[in-house]
Structure 1
Amino acid sequence: MHIAVLVANTDESAFAQGHPKDGAKFATLLHEQRPDWRVSSFSVKDGEFPAAGAQFDGWIITGSPASVHDSDAWVAQLFGLIRQIVARGDRLFGACFGHQAIALALGGVVGDNPGGWVFGAVDTVMEGQQIRLYAAHKEQVLVVPEGAVVLGGNAECAVGSFAIGRSVLTTQYHPEMTHGFMAALVAEYAGKLPTEVAAQARASLNTPADRDVIAGRMVRFFDENRL
């Protein structure tokens, strides 16, 4: 199995440089379940895309502090690639920005979170199962694309996950983040967040996310023989 990770994360701060890149984070997550899988990363936010016609067994689009509404050329190019991947029926997984990018590229609607920032560990529903995941977002999917099925969410984010057939699966959250990284991210952003959001984020870290659960779901999604 060979998975392509399309890295959309535009954060080049000193904080970001002190931690693994998102491509490495997703590779680690998948390798915890399938150590023999190959994972290749492409920094699409820098214009680094796979060659035209490149074949992979699955694709992942990462999170990003960028907005899917940004006018940067790489965002438009990513939307085009999303449409190609979906048209071919390849398996495509999107997380946070990736979840929103897939929705918008395919005709959905993305807008501001009604309550502003969602940050820290949150409980959401995915395919009827309550799952705890890490969040860091100010926007969310408001309307899913035609043919998509909402798999769950919560009071703060009604579209926490959606699917299109057996080839697209998304989550508004961050399965790739470890507890240690999320704790560091909360500390890094504490001064940039509203006081009550920062306090709630810190308190939420008393219970870690369900990393194994979401990793297992991703592996089953990519491994067509186990769906």
Structure 2
Amino acid sequence: MHLAILVTNTDLSDFARSHPLDGEKFTKMVQTVRPDWECSVFLVHQNEFPATLEGFDGLIITGSPASVHDPETWVARLLDVIRTTDLPIYGACYGHQAIALALGGKVEANPHGWSFGLEHCRITDPQPWMSKLGEQYRQFAAHKEQVTALPPKARIIAKADGVPCAGFAIDNRIYTSQNHPEMTADFFKALVDEFRDALGPEVAAKAKSSMKQTDDNLAYSHSIAAFFEQAVN
């Protein structure tokens, strides 16, 4: 299996560079459960796109502090890739929102502000590739926008408190999460510390408190791999 990881993360701060960047994070996530899979990283936020998608089996679109409504040319180009490819796509956070917008859905500001912390997601429409997750899972959330209207044929597969669409699917070709399966607990703790002032004391304290529980990243990574396997078979 050969996946193209389309990196949308525009954060090039000293903090970001002091940790593994998203291309590395997602590659590690995939290869933890499928060591023999190949991942090629493209910095689409810098207008670095694959010359062709021929030879790839699927796409992963990462998270970003950018908005899917930003006017930059790379955003429009990414949305066009989503609309025109026949490859299966997995999207996380920004990727989740970009897929929704590209295919006819709507993305708007969270009415309650930040969703930030280890979020408890309830599976409402389990898909075959999600069998290792059971009825619920925990993932790190960091977003101020969310999907408020689904594209045609999409169905919500997970919800969380204050997040009516924590993930959606379209047939067996699209799989998304509003959250960040690539983030580790150590990275997220550092992220909360770094952005404490921007988040405000209440949001930061709630995020720290949520981390008393453990994430379900490993089981969720298996679901991503199973999604691509069923899509190409």
Bin of the TM-score, shorter chain as denominator length: over 0.9
Task: Give the stretch that moved more between structures: 193-202 or 63-72.
Answer: 193-202
Shift of 1:114: 1.2
1:75 lines up with 2:75 in the alignment: yes
1:173 lines up with 2:170 in the alignment: no
TM-score of the superposed pair, with normalisation by structure 2: 0.93
8 Å contact kept, 2:142–2:179 = yes
8 Å contact kept, 2:62–2:95 = yes
Cross-structure match for 1:107: 104
Cross-structure match for 1:146: 152
Q: 1:53 to 1:182 in 2, by over 3 A?
A: closer
Q: What letter matches 1:16 in structure 2?
A: A
1:184 lines up with 2:190 in the alignment: yes
8 Å contact kept, 1:153–1:161 = yes
Q: CA RMSD in A?
A: 1.4
Cross-structure match for 1:93: 90
TM-score of the superposed pair, with normalisation by structure 1: 0.95
In the alignment, the residues of structure 2 paired with residue 203 and residue 225 of structure 1 have an alpha-carbon distance, to the nearest angstrom, of: 38
1:202 lines up with 2:208 in the alignment: yes
Q: Which runs of 5+ in 1 are unaligned?
A: none
Task: Give the stretch that moved more between structures: 36-45 or 183-192.
Answer: 183-192
Shift of 1:163: 0.4
Q: Which runs of 5+ in 2 are unaligned?
A: 127-134
In the alignment, the residues of structure 2 paired with residue 225 and residue 78 of structure 1 have an alpha-carbon distance, to the nearest angstrom, of: 21
1:27 lines up with 2:27 in the alignment: yes
Shift of 1:55: 3.1
Shift of 1:175: 0.3
In the alignment, the residues of structure 1 paired with residue 38 and residue 3 of structure 2 have an alpha-carbon distance, to the nearest angstrom, of: 6
Q: 1:91 to 1:53 in 2, by over 3 A?
A: closer
8 Å contact kept, 1:96–1:173 = yes
Q: 1:11 to 1:225 in 2, by over 3 A?
A: closer
In the alignment, the residues of structure 2 paired with residue 75 and residue 225 of structure 1 have an alpha-carbon distance, to the nearest angstrom, of: 26
Shift of 1:104: 0.3
Q: What letter matches 1:191 in structure 2?
A: D
8 Å contact kept, 2:167–2:178 = yes
Q: What letter matches 2:103 in structure 1?
A: L
8 Å contact kept, 2:119–2:160 = no
